[in-house]
Amino acid sequence: MDASILLVGGDDLLPTLLERIRDVVTCTLEVVPSPSEAVPLIQAQQPDVIILQSNQLESLALCRQVKEQTKLAWIYCIVLETSLSGLSDDRRQYLLQIEARASALENGADAYLWLPQTTATGEPLEREMLIQQDRLLKSQILCGLRMVQTHRELIRTNDILSAIALSDPLTELNNRRALDWELPRQVQNSRMRLEPLSLLILDIDFFKTINDTHGHAVGDRVLQLISSRLRHNLRFRDTLFRYGGEEFVIILSSTDEMEALLVGRRLCRLVSDQPFSIDDTVNLLVTISAGVAALRADDDPKGTSLLRRADQYLLRAKAEGRNRVIGFLDDCEEELGTRG
């Protein structure tokens, strides 16, 4: 069984319990003598099941600490009691068992097991009793492992669904929803690290004409080919999104506006210089236009104003002839040229 168990207990418990666990279930076993020593191991390895000895002072505190952490709360915690008196009909002993069980569950334990080592008179337990104890121990461990497996399958499913929700099915790029999540994070990182941040909005020129002339299947293929060409010609720190229709957004981290303009112009050349081979009979020359904007101190934390500013420059690029990149620095050059 592909699972791991962490056993936390003293010398009075460990030798016997280790053998019993190995007999009832096959998995990876780690052992630590005290709850305080277990903490770094739990953080690092995140075992599936933790078995804690109840008579150790810090056991219940450790159980509570595990359950209070979201990233660890799925770990199945079993509190094991062996220190109460042996089997008897004593009413006081019964109440002690109930109290110990309640305390364990209140502190986050998923299960509480009472496995006495002897009878009330101190004699060893009968073989049949030990067999039934081992059966109970095995069933409780397997119950925990089933719950952990269910949790992990849910996490995997959620990861798949999240990936689908954030991916554009046609181009396999990040989609607009992914941009809405990523851009505020990039803005925050830029401001925390005092690093520049720029953004490019790209649009395929005359894309409607491509659809009208060659059909939407060819238009979809153009989107796929351009996506691939852009993706394979970006720097490792750049993040590409399909913003919608024939528009794309690229977040350029650690990039000022001058660098962003150079990146945009390079991408324009890469798209326009080589035709796109749709099939054996159709080769299309395609160009793109782009708007560039760099993050400013007065931009909102979601990046909405940054995105809007880049979009405005994109509109100018298309109005001024397409197949070009326009940004704030172009305004500065025009102003200087006018003054000169």
What are the tens digits of pLDDT across the range 168-199?
999 999 999 999 999 999 999 999 999 999 99
Q: How far apart are CA 36 and CA 62, in angstroms?
A: 8
As a whole-number percent, the residues of the chain with pLDDT over 70 amount to 91
Across all residues in the chain, what is the average pLDDT?
86
Average pLDDT over residues 26-48: 86
- The DSSP call for residue 12 is T
Q: Same CATH fold, 176-339 and 4-163?
A: no
Domain limits of the chain?
4-163, 176-339
| 182 among known catalytic residues | no
Confidence (pLDDT) at 336:
39
Q: Which residue would you say has higher pLDDT here, 86 or 140?
A: 140
User: Which of the given ranges, 14-23, 151-160, 294-303, has the highest pLDDT on average?
Assistant: 294-303
CATH for the stretch 4-163: 3.40.50.2300
CATH for the stretch 176-339: 3.30.70.270
Q: How far apart are CA 266 and CA 182, in angstroms?
A: 24
pLDDT of 338 higher than 70: no
pLDDT-wise least confident of 50-59, 100-109, 304-313: 50-59
Q: How many CB atoms lie within 10 A of CB 313?
A: 22
Q: How far apart are CA 23 and CA 16, in angstroms?
A: 11
Chain Cα centroid distance, residue 239: 17
List own/partner pairs for 316-320 with CB under 8 A and 24 or more apart. 316/291, 317/289, 317/290, 317/291, 318/203, 318/205, 318/289
Confidence (pLDDT) at 335:
41
pLDDT of 250 higher than 80: yes
Annotated active-site residue in 99, 128, 246, 259: 246
E-strand ranges in the chain read 4-8, 28-32, 49-53, 76-81, 111-114, 197-204, 238-244, 247-253, 276-277, 283-284, 288-294, 325-326
Confidence (pLDDT) at 75:
92
| Beta-carbon-side half-sphere exposure of residue 191 (alpha carbons within 13 Å) | 14
- The model's pLDDT over 291-309, given as tens digits with 9 standing for 90+, comes to 999 999 999 999 999 999 9
pLDDT category of residue 340 using cuts at 50, 70 and 90: very low
Confidence (pLDDT) at 339:
38
Q: How far apart are CA 166 and CA 174, in angstroms?
A: 6
pTM of this prediction exceeds 0.85: no
Residue 240 forms beta bridges with which residues? Answer: 250
Q: How far apart are CA 130 and CA 126, in angstroms?
A: 7
Exposure string over 161-200, b if 16+ CB within 10 A, otherwise e = eeeeebbbeebebbbeebbeebbeebbeebeeeeebbbbb
pLDDT of 86 higher than 60: no
Confidence (pLDDT) at 11:
67
Confidence (pLDDT) at 80:
86
